[in-house]
């Protein structure tokens, strides 16, 4: 056996959600990543987010590139179609898939090697086109599958497991996404499920390009002293600007927001994002100030997490193209082929 299926056994007390699925229905195969890998925590957060959103698993398409992170779509939402594409090229494939059928939910999962190096161009262009997707980068700052090389998000001055010091500047995916016009930008930490799950929920409900950079320590090659992507380092330097809850119309807000001020953002589809402000002067709807705030805190050595920017009025690529509401893959011969009469007119115009 070169794949591992999960046992069919499920606890009878598992509660179904509003569309009749239990949490078990959102799981996939058994992970073959290292025990303790941050990516598995992200997979678990995706499972929980989709369950809580009452998203029918088969209505989500999950796409990835190549690398540890890109293996993970096999480990969640087993009833969804998945596509493990080629290195760094997931964004174009997702864009094409989205063009073909706008009615599905698109989740792109990538890594820092996949998206910040070979795939930087495709990442950038899918974001600037406003493809309606949730794009998660599982960012561990290292090449895991090839055993420990620095990636383009490794911080300058951080150390590899072998003690080598990185001399290149890091690419900050969040700053890039903001600059490129992403309409939902967040950063989180695989070890902070309470923050990550609502962010994924909000991103999945967002119309337009939603980007979540998730620091996800590599337990095998980047979880040592000197690393700025280790569990300990991120816990010590995490500066959360807000905490989020998502209200999908019928759902009551369950989180306790008694401490600090809150801000509510209503998206196109009626989703209400309620943010408990931790940084008092932080406004998640101000792109310019968000960019400045990020740079300022990064200079102070902090990793800012939370919902960093959202445009609740965002439009997507289909809006820009004026595409028909009917998914293109459902159009039939009569919709698509102009017929022989039109062709006769065309012939006549070419003489």
Partner 1 sequence: MPITAVNDFVVKFANVNGSGSASANGLFVKSILRSGVPVAARNIFPSNIQGLPTWYEVRVSGEGWMGRRGGVDLMVAMNPQTWDKDVAEIEPGGYLFYDSTRPMPADKFRSDITVIGAPLQRICNTAYSDPRQRQLFKNIIYIGVLAYLLGIENTVIETLLAEQFATKPKLIPANIEAFHMGVTYARENLKPLGLQVKTADAVGDRIFIEGNDAAGLGAVYGGATVCAWYPITPSTSLAESFTNWCQKLRVDKETGESKFAIVQAEDEIASIGMVVGAGWNGARAFTCTSGPGISLMQEFIGLSYFAEIPAVIFDVQRGGPSTGMPTRTQQSDILSAAYASHGDTKHVLLLPRDPGECFEFGAMAFDLADRLQTTIFVMLDLDMGMNEWLTEPFKWDDAKQLDRGKIMTAEMLDAGRDFGRYLDVDGDGVPFRTYPGTHPSKGAYFTRGTSRDRYARYSEEGAVYVDNMERLLRKFETAKSLVPQPIEAKAGKPTRFGVIHYGSTGPAMDEAMAALEAQGLYVDALRIRAFPFPGEVFDFIERHDLVFVIEQNRDAQLRTLLMAEGGVDPARLVKILHYEGAPITARFITKEITALMGAPVQSEMAK
Binding positions for partner 1, rule: CB under 8 A: 2-3, 56-59, 61, 63, 73-74, 78-86, 89, 91-101, 103-104, 121-122, 124-125, 129, 317-318, 321-325, 328-329, 331-333, 335-340, 342-343, 346-347, 350-351
Helix (H), strand (E) at residue 179: helix 173-180
Report d(CA 223, CA 230) in Å as an integer: 4
Give least dist CB 62 to partner 1, A. 9
Report d(CA 208, CA 314) in Å as an integer: 6
Contact 94, 280 (CB under 8 A): no
The sign of the torsion formed by the CA atoms of 170, 175, 179, 181 equals positive
Give least dist CB 135 to partner 1, A. 14
Please, which residue, 28 or 141, has the CB nearer to partner 1? Answer: 28
Report d(CA 263, CA 318) in Å as an integer: 30
Report d(CA 169, CA 152) in Å as an integer: 8
Please, which residue, 21 or 309, has the CB nearer to partner 1? Answer: 21
Please, which residue, 194 or 342, has the CB nearer to partner 1? Answer: 342
5: number of Cβ within 10 Å: 10
Give least dist CB 13 to partner 1, A. 21
Give least dist CB 47 to partner 1, A. 16
Report d(CA 82, CA 69) in Å as an integer: 14
Please, which residue, 91 or 141, has the CB nearer to partner 1? Answer: 91
Contacts 24+ apart (CB under 8 A), 154-163: 154/228, 154/229, 155/228, 155/229, 158/226, 158/227, 158/228, 158/229, 159/224, 159/225, 159/226, 159/227, 160/221, 160/222, 161/221, 161/222, 161/224, 163/226
Please, which residue, 123 or 233, has the CB nearer to partner 1? Answer: 123
Please, which residue, 21 or 143, has the CB nearer to partner 1? Answer: 21
* Both tokens assigned to 103: 């009615």
Report d(CA 94, CA 212) in Å as an integer: 16
Please, which residue, 73 or 312, has the CB nearer to partner 1? Answer: 73
Give least dist CB 57 to partner 1, A. 8
Report d(CA 236, CA 230) in Å as an integer: 10
Give least dist CB 315 to partner 1, A. 15
Give least dist CB 179 to partner 1, A. 16
Please, which residue, 176 or 275, has the CB nearer to partner 1? Answer: 176
End-to-end alpha carbon distance in the chain = 64
Give least dist CB 203 to partner 1, A. 19
Contact 229, 217 (CB under 8 A): yes
Please, which residue, 103 or 261, has the CB nearer to partner 1? Answer: 103
The sign of the torsion formed by the CA atoms of 281, 285, 291, 294 equals positive
* Both tokens assigned to 188: 């989180």
Give least dist CB 263 to partner 1, A. 35
């Amino acid at each position: 056996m070169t794949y591992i299926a999960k046992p069919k056994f499920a606890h009878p007390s598992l509660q179904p959600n509003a569309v009749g699925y239990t949490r078990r229905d959102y799981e996939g195969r058994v992970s073959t990543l290292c025990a303790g890998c941050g990516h598995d925590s992200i997979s678990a957060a995706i499972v929980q987010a989709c369950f809580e959103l009452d998203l029918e698993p088969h209505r989500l398409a999950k796409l990835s590139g190549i690398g540890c992170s890109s293996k993970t779509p096999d480990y969640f939402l087993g009833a969804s179609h998945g596509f493990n594409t080629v290195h760094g090229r997931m964004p174009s494939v997702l864009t094409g898939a989205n063009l073909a059928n706008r009615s599905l939910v698109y989740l792109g999962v990538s890594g820092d090697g996949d998206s910040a190096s070979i795939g930087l161009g495709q990442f950038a262009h899918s974001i600037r086109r406003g493809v309606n997707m949730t794009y998660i980068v599982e960012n561990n700052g290292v090449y895991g599958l090839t055993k420990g090389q620095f990636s383009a998000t490794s911080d300058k001055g951080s150390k590899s497991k072998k003690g080598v010091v990185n001399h290149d500047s890091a690419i900050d995916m969040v700053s890039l996404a903001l600059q490129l016009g992403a309409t939902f930008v967040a950063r989180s930490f695989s070890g902070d499920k309470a923050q990550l799950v609502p962010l994924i929920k909000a991103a999945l409900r967002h119309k337009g390009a939603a980007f979540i950079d998730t620091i996800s320590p590599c337990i095998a090659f980047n979880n040592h002293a000197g690393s700025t992507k280790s569990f300990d380092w991120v816990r010590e330097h995490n500066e959360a600007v807000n905490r989020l809850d998502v209200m999908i119309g019928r759902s009551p807000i369950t989180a306790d927001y008694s401490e600090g001020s809150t801000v509510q953002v209503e998206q196109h589809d009626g989703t209400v994002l309620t943010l408990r402000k931790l940084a008092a002067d932080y406004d998640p709807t101000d792109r310019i100030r968000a960019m400045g705030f990020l740079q300022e805190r990064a200079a102070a050595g902090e990793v800012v997490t939370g919902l960093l920017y959202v445009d609740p009025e965002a439009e997507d690529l289909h809006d820009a193209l004026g595409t028909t509401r009917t998914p293109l893959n459902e159009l039939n011969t009569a919709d698509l082929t102009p017929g022989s009469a039109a062709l006769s007119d065309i012939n006549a115009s070419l003489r």
